[in-house]
Amino acid sequence: MGGESEKWALMVTGRTPTNIAVIKYWGKRDETLILPINDSISVTLDPDHLCTTTTVSVSPSFDQDRMWLNGKEISLSVGEFQSCLREIRSRATDFEDKKKGIKITKDDWQKLHLHIASYNNFPTAAGLASSAAGLACLVFSLAKLMNVKEDYGQLSAIARQGSGSACRSLYGGFVKWIMGKEGDGSDSIAVQLADENHWDELVIIIAVVSARQKETSSTSGMRDTVETSLLIQHRAPKRIIQMEDAIKNRDFPSFARLACADSNQFHAVCLDTYPPIFYMNDTSHRIISCVEKWNRAEGTPQVAYTFDAGPNAVLVARNRKTAALLLQRLLFHFPPQSDTNLDSYVIGDKTILQDVGVQDMKDVEALTPPPEIKDYIPTQKSKGDVSYFICTRPGRGPVVLSDESQALLDPVTGLPK
């Protein structure tokens, strides 16, 4: 199987982005294979700001599969990991590194154990699709390590079996998850609609909303919806085609109308579920009305909003100028708590702050109400309802990090660095 001393370890590090759906996936027709009841479309977010990095390592000296997430060991026995590991192992092919004297055959891969270390560059608890990036990164990195020859579409079908939305993180730009028809899920794959350079004017601002309660997981939420909601049958498949056209033509007003309508419809379906599911909270609703008022005042949409299974708002601005105007409004309505500094309140691409013209908390406090607010009452300001903002943009798909210094596992011990 290997070199003389059996001391070798082989290692790959991958980096995979998160994605945000603008046409939501909600509801499964097969829970084991994770097959959805509708097509969905997402935007991949810039991995510089939101991504998972995963190092996978194999060595004859490992006596069991082990995994660490953000430095803490976690159990690999849960179904979603097991499905991905099984599927990837079954597609492993022969590998040889003559220089290092390592040879691993297809059969060896079934017996060799793995060490996996994964790290999110954003807080896992913030509810920002960490499972999507995480499972996509696991599948991507293992596929590279095990010399898997399948294309990204087929890898997306494996990631899908870990978490549905993960399949869309195998590509950058705009991605469609085709629901497919086959019973075995072979045609339920992600495809890229356009890469990250196609519509590079867009700016994305995420408002991480302070949440008090633990949310219903997507998995159990969508199960209840499929069983109890009558509204779910009315989710419009037509939107997929219209959204594809809006993206192709960089038609922002259509993009924004469709994304907002689909997010609102998804949350309406959640409310129509028994027991009802509330993902958005009062802060989420206030962000929507701030955007809606502004869009209406301008006569055409400047910003689109979308909310996943939680209260965080993902806001897409048509260009940098509108993004600065948006951030100005957000900082006005949702200022940080007095002891927070601006540097930790707006993270990601901070250069937008310069366009807003605010440098510190004094500047935030001096912001005046936007013109569309006619009846502003000062007590409406809600300090601390938003934890922080992340400024980002559409981004690229997975990459291998070839620089060993970026690996999360020590090449000698096989343990987290």
Q: Which residues bind ligand DP6 (CB under 6 A)?
A: 21, 24-26, 34, 40, 131, 163-165, 218-219, 308-309
**Under 8 Å between Cβ of 84 and 138:** yes
What is the distance between the alpha carbons of residues 36 and 34, in angstroms, rounded to a whole number? Answer: 6
147 vs 264 by CB, closer to ligand DP6: 264
339 alpha-carbon distance from chain centroid: 30
Place of tokens 């939680």: 310
165 vs 322 by CB, closer to ligand DP6: 165
34 vs 170 by CB, closer to ligand DP6: 34
131 vs 273 by CB, closer to ligand DP6: 131
Give me the least distance between CB of 407 and ligand DP6, in Å please: 27
37 vs 367 by CB, closer to ligand DP6: 37
Give me the least distance between CB of 102 and ligand DP6, in Å please: 35
Residue at shortest CB range from ligand DP6: 164
Q: Residue 212: what are its φ and ψ, rounded to 5°? A: -90, -40
> How many C-beta atoms surround the C-beta of residue 396 within 10 A?
18
Give me the least distance between CB of 288 and ligand DP6, in Å please: 16
Give me the least distance between CB of 40 and ligand DP6, in Å please: 5
39 vs 349 by CB, closer to ligand DP6: 39
Give me the least distance between CB of 304 and ligand DP6, in Å please: 15
Give me the least distance between CB of 354 and ligand DP6, in Å please: 32
3-state secondary structure 321-378: HHHHHHHHHHHHHCCCCCCCCHHHHEEECCHHHHHHCCCCHHHHHCCCCCCCCCCCCH
**Under 8 Å between Cβ of 189 and 156:** yes
Q: Residue 113: what are its φ and ψ, rounded to 5°? A: -95, 160
What is the distance between the alpha carbons of residues 284 and 266, in angstroms, rounded to a whole number? Answer: 14
